[in-house]
Amino acid sequence: MNISDAEAQVMAVLWELHPQSTEEIAQALHDKQDWQLATIKTLLNRLLNKGAISAAKDGRRYLYSPVLQREVWLQDQSLGLLDRLFGGHLAPLVAQFSAERRLSPADLAALKQLIREHEKNGD
């Protein structure tokens, strides 16, 4: 499912807490984006049409909840980035990242642990 950056910001609010109304979503995004309520309604309608969220009538308003799971979206985004930019190879991604930002000791330890786990499992 293709979710734009703006739509992803709305999804992040809903993944954090749901269900929420348009006004609640607008309030949650207020400090990050200076969007009008109409913009948020447009983004919600796009997400509804894509099947990423659901809407339930609550009196005169709708309450929105995510259908698309955050973990599924993150996996798709991660694999898409890896495929588009690095031909599906992880090592060049890590090399590029480490050239731009110094890897912390915690990052290095986590990477070493991943390698050990993959070697142990025969991957």
In this predicted model, what pLDDT tens digit does every residue of 11-39 receive, in sequence order?
Answer: 999 999 999 999 999 999 999 998 999 99
In a domain, 83, yes or no: no
Q: Who wins on pLDDT, 38 or 82?
A: 38
Q: Who wins on pLDDT, 77 or 40?
A: 40
Q: Is 10 found in the same domain as 47?
A: yes
Residue 123 pLDDT more than 70? no
66: which strand partners?
Answer: 53
Q: Is 9 found in the same domain as 51?
A: yes
* Predicted TM-score of the model (pTM): 0.77
pLDDT on residue 57: 97
pLDDT on residue 93: 86
pLDDT on residue 82: 87
Domain count, the chain: 2
In a domain, 84, yes or no: no
Q: Is 97 found in the same domain as 49?
A: no
Average pLDDT value for residue range 40-62: 97
61: which strand partners?
Answer: 58
Residue 62 pLDDT more than 70? yes
CA distance 34 to 42: 15
Q: Is 9 found in the same domain as 57?
A: yes
CATH, residue 39: 1.10.10.10
CA distance 65 to 67: 7
Closest by CA position to 42, among listed 72, 22, 63: 22
Q: Is 11 found in the same domain as 55?
A: yes
Measure CA 27 to chain center: 19
Task: Say which residue the tokens 């919600």 belong to.
Answer: 44
Residue ranges making up the domain that contains 106: 89-123
Count CA atoms within 13 Å of residue 7 on its CB side. Answer: 20
